[in-house]
Amino acid sequence: IDAASAAQAAVRQDSLTKPPGSLGRLEELAIFMAGWRATPRPVIKKAQALIFAGNHGVCAQGVNPYPQDVTQQMVLNFQRGGAAINQLCIASGADLRVVPIMLDTPTADFTTGPAMTSEEMLSAMNIGASAVDGNADVLILGEMGIGNSTVASALVAAFFGGAPPDWVGPGTGSDAAGIARKCAAVSKGLALHGGRPALETLSRFGGREQAAICGSILAARASRIPVILDGFICTAAASTLHVAHTGLLDHCLVGHVSAEPGHRRLLKELGKRPILELDMRLGEGSGAALALGILRAALHCHNGMATFAEAGIS
């Protein structure tokens, strides 16, 4: 982060026609953008939204009420403009790209062995990194993958401890029996794959879209592109990097806190405060895209307001 640009942005904020601090988090967001974009007057000309999709072998354990075909059907829906994320990207001015990753080749069932080999994980990370537009001023990340809330729960249970019920929620709509199956799958997975380094844990639980999210976050960092993370599954994937090396998520905002119960707990582990809290639990980048509107508004104020001197105010 460019501390000088951030400091200049903070000085500007205090010169604008409002009581100092009265725009609250909008001021923080403007200063954050200044630091990461290395300019005291950051702008968003281009916002990119990337949605990664994958399929998961753990669906064999009955962890999701929907068939895996829905992942491909939803990818088509994204491509045709029919999903929530399409509308939210229109509303917030983001360019959406959907990246399905080997949907016909689900990862292996992590309750019986590693979900991915190291090579498969690295390949998916590279797909994520390559998808990042280096000319973007901000990157929104989301995911789609039937069964991936179970993968997310397993990952964060491995990273942060706690029992499966602390991290497992209804996801797309599991009932009590479904949640019990999710917990059982997570327990089996922890027994097989627990206690390993962060990236090895990611390869063992999966999935491809989670690895792609990690790859894109690293690529964005290299280009000084701030990231807006979405809900539980997206943040759980990103937490791999936090565990691997504290500070790797410093350029990441969290767009919202999901109604999926594990998300709030996860944000506490990461020390991240969400921008929005609207009881959403959809994934596909929806909360992150919505938060882009708040970030845009913060920069409108930062760049467009008059200073006290300009306005001639006592």
Catalytic residue IDs: 284
Minimum gap (Å) between residue 312 Cβ and a copy of itself: 7
Contact in structure between 100 and 53 (CB atoms under 8 Å): yes
Q: Compute CA 115 distance to the chain's CA centroid, rounded to the nearest angstrom.
A: 21
Measured in degrees and rounded to the nearest 5, phi and psi for residue 281 equal -155, 45
Minimum gap (Å) between residue 284 Cβ and a copy of itself: 8
DSSP string, 71-84: HHHHHHHHHHT-SH
Q: Compute CA 297 distance to the chain's CA centroid, rounded to the nearest angstrom.
A: 21
Among 200, 162, 175, 221, smallest CA distance to 64 is for: 175
Tell me, by CB under 8 A, how many residues bind a copy of itself: 57
Q: Could you say which of 45, 80, 177, 247 contacts a copy of itself (CB under 8 A)?
A: 80
Residue 32 burial (CB count, 10 A): 21
Site track 144-183 with a copy of itself (rule: CB under 8 A), x = hit: ----------------------------xx----------
Computed on alpha carbons and rounded to an integer, the radius of gyration of the chain in Å comes to 20
Residues of span 88-107 touching a copy of itself by CB under 8 A: 88, 90-92
Rounded to whole angstroms, how far apart are CA atoms 215 and 1? 20
Does position 277 interact with a copy of itself (CB under 8 A)? The reply is yes
When the beta carbons of 19 and 247 are compared against a copy of itself, the nearer one is 19
Q: Could you say which of 8, 18, 165, 207 contacts a copy of itself (CB under 8 A)?
A: 18
Minimum gap (Å) between residue 163 Cβ and a copy of itself: 25
Span near a copy of itself by CB under 8 A; candidates 10-18, 48-56, 105-113, 244-252: 10-18
Where helices occur in the chain by DSSP H, the ranges are 3-15, 25-37, 69-80, 84-92, 118-131, 148-160, 164-167, 176-193, 198-205, 208-222, 232-244, 262-270, 286-304, 308-311
Span near a copy of itself by CB under 8 A; candidates 64-72, 110-118, 150-158, 232-240: 64-72
Binding site for a copy of itself (CB under 8 A): 16-26, 66-67, 69-70, 73-74, 76-77, 80-84, 86-88, 90-92, 172-173, 259, 275-282, 286, 290, 293-294, 296-297, 300-301, 304-306, 310-314
